[in-house]
């Protein structure tokens, strides 16, 4: 265990990162419902990842600067004005967020993730690139920037290796857990004094130390950023988000109190749930084919013109493709089609050469 809870340090400049605007504030207006996560999202990024799933993530800045390798998703900034931000298309209504990451090094560079609600309740983890000994936790109620809730927690080299930063958020308390050790606990308090409304997740990298930032922000970020020392890279190895509610499609504000008890939900499979389950549909089709006995495959392959198999693959693949928008899944489905078709052709060729005895097939093989 390399990160330990230690002294909360008194703070002067702490409110610079608060989100101060929202598309529609349910404290003042009747707003659209929030799409729920309603399940667990669990993703480990690798060299075979091609992009953040566009149905689950909206990359609002710097999408072209996300590079995938077996170390994870690298978020890179290299010049004044650069930032990378991804925000979830779904909301969680209490639950846990676990991010395994290596923060970017570099004075004034901030690697961060936040939970943010429509009425501006906010939960943050912020890591200054120039401070190899501490990370910052913070929160806001109703976007009130007069609140000073930031605290610093000793952490051994957040820019030098990956650490497990977990937020555990319930109706009773809010915890920041670093490598398995609870670094901070905030007990429940009334609406406005404790984050308690459905929140989306945002993560990214930006330069609080850019010379264009206000003085207070530069100071908070740990000093001016020297771009000649870039590029600066944050590496996110994995993200796991568990919504406390399951089988939930959406959340809504029942009134304008911003109290958790006013939040209503609709049950059913969320869009995120459907999206996450589609991925396994591709796998299950592939498994279905490869798990068929040789006899069954021959049976299929020998069917007149291969019609049966083409119907079998075609129908399932078509259904998947039809409902899918991400490039990555599309590519996977295309590849699946090619592989299955190639395999069919191989069987048919071998059959044509008489490699399979007729007696080995056609006797009760079912699929």
Ligand X SMILES: *[C@@H]1O[C@H](CO)[C@@H](O)[C@H](O)[C@H]1NC(C)=O
- List the interface residues with ligand X, window 170-199 (CB under 6 A): 170, 177, 180, 192
Q: What is the DSSP letter of 349?
A: H
Identify the burial level of 274 via C-beta atoms within 10 angstroms of its C-beta, where 0-12 means exposed, 13-18 middle and 19 or more buried: middle
Q: What is the DSSP letter of 105?
A: P
Question: Is 107 within 8 Å of 223 (Cβ atoms)?
Answer: yes
Instruction: Indicate whether 46 belongs to the interface with ligand X (CB under 6 A).
Output: no
Catalytic: 126?
yes
Question: Is 103 within 8 Å of 134 (Cβ atoms)?
Answer: no
Question: Least distance (Å) from ligand X to the CB of residue 261?
Answer: 18
Instruction: Indicate whether 28 belongs to the interface with ligand X (CB under 6 A).
Output: yes
Question: Other CB atoms closer than 10 Å to residue 153's CB: what's the count?
Answer: 24
Question: Is 102 within 8 Å of 159 (Cβ atoms)?
Answer: yes
Cα dihedral sign, 219-222-223-228: negative
Pick from 4, 6, 8, 9 the residue near ligand X by CB under 6 A: 9
d(CA 180, CA 87): 25
Instruction: Indicate whether 208 belongs to the interface with ligand X (CB under 6 A).
Output: no
Question: Least distance (Å) from ligand X to the CB of residue 60?
Answer: 5
Nearer to ligand X, 134 or 203 (CB): 134
Catalytic: 132?
no
Q: Which two tokens stand for residue 268?
A: 């059913």
Instruction: Indicate whether 16 belongs to the interface with ligand X (CB under 6 A).
Output: no
Tell me the longest C-alpha to C-alpha distance in the chain: 84
Sorted by sequence, the CB contacts under 8 Å of residue 284 that are 6+ apart come out as none
- Which of these, 177, 203, 196, lies nearest to 57 by C-alpha position? 203
Pick from 1, 30, 64, 146 the residue near ligand X by CB under 6 A: 146
Nearer to ligand X, 51 or 98 (CB): 98
Q: Tell me the window of 76-84, 131-139, 295-303, 352-360 that interacts with ligand X (CB under 6 A).
A: 131-139
Pick from 53, 117, 131, 217 the residue near ligand X by CB under 6 A: 131
Identify the burial level of 224 via C-beta atoms within 10 angstroms of its C-beta, where 0-12 means exposed, 13-18 middle and 19 or more buried: middle
Q: Tell me the window of 68-76, 145-153, 308-316, 348-356 that interacts with ligand X (CB under 6 A).
A: 145-153
- List the interface residues with ligand X, window 295-334 (CB under 6 A): none
The residue annotated as part of the active site, out of 122, 136, 213, 329, is: 122
Instruction: Indicate whether 237 belongs to the interface with ligand X (CB under 6 A).
Output: no
- Which are the catalytic amino acids? 122, 126
Residue numbers at the binding site for ligand X (CB under 6 A)? 9, 25, 27-28, 42, 44, 58, 60, 89, 96, 98, 130-131, 133-134, 142, 144, 146-147, 152, 164, 166, 168, 170, 177, 180, 192, 215, 222, 247, 267-268
């Amino acid at each position: 265990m390399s990160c330990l809870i230690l002294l909360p340090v008194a703070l002067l400049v702490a409110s610079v990162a608060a989100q101060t605007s929202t598309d529609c504030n349910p404290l003042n207006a009747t707003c659209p419902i929030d799409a729920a996560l309603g399940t667990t999202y669990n993703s480990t990024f690798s060299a075979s990842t091609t992009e953040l799933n566009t149905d689950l993530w909206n990359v609002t800045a710097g999408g072209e600067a996300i590079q995938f390798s077996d170390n994870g998703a690298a978020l890179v900034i290299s010049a004044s004005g650069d930032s990378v931000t991804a925000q979830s298309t779904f909301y969680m209504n209490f639950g846990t967020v676990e991010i395994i990451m290596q923060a970017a090094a570099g004075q004034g560079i901030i690697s961060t993730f936040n939970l943010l609600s429509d009425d501006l309740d906010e939960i943050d983890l912020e890591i200054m690139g120039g401070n190899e000994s501490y990370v910052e936790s913070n929160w806001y109620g109703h976007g009130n920037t007069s609140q000073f809730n930031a605290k610093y927690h000793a952490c051994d080299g957040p820019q030098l290796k990956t650490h497990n930063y977990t937020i555990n958020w319930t109706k009773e308390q809010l915890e920041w857990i670093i490598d398995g050790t609870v670094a901070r606990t905030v007990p429940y308090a009334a609406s406005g004094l404790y984050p308690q409304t459905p929140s989306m997740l945002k993560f990214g990298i930006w330069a609080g130390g850019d010379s264009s930032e206000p003085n207070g922000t530069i100071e908070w970020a740990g000093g001016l950023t020297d771009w000649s020392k870039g590029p600066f890279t944050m590496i996110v190895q994995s993200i796991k988000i568990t919504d406390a509610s399951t089988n939930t499609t959406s959340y809504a504000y029942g009134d304008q109190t911003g109290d958790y008890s006013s939040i209503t939900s609709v049950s059913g499979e969320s869009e995120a749930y459907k999206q996450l389950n589609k991925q396994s549909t591709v796998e299950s089709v592939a498994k279905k084919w490869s798990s068929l006995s040789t006899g069954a495959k021959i049976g299929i392959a020998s069917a007149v013109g291969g019609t049966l198999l083409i119907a079998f693959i075609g129908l399932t693949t078509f259904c998947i493709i039809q409902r899918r928008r991400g490039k990555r899944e599309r590519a996977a489905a295309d590849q699946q089609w090619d592989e299955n078709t190639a395999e069919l052709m191989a069987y048919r060729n071998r059959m044509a050469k008489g490699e399979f005895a007729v007696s080995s097939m056609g006797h009760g093989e079912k699929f």
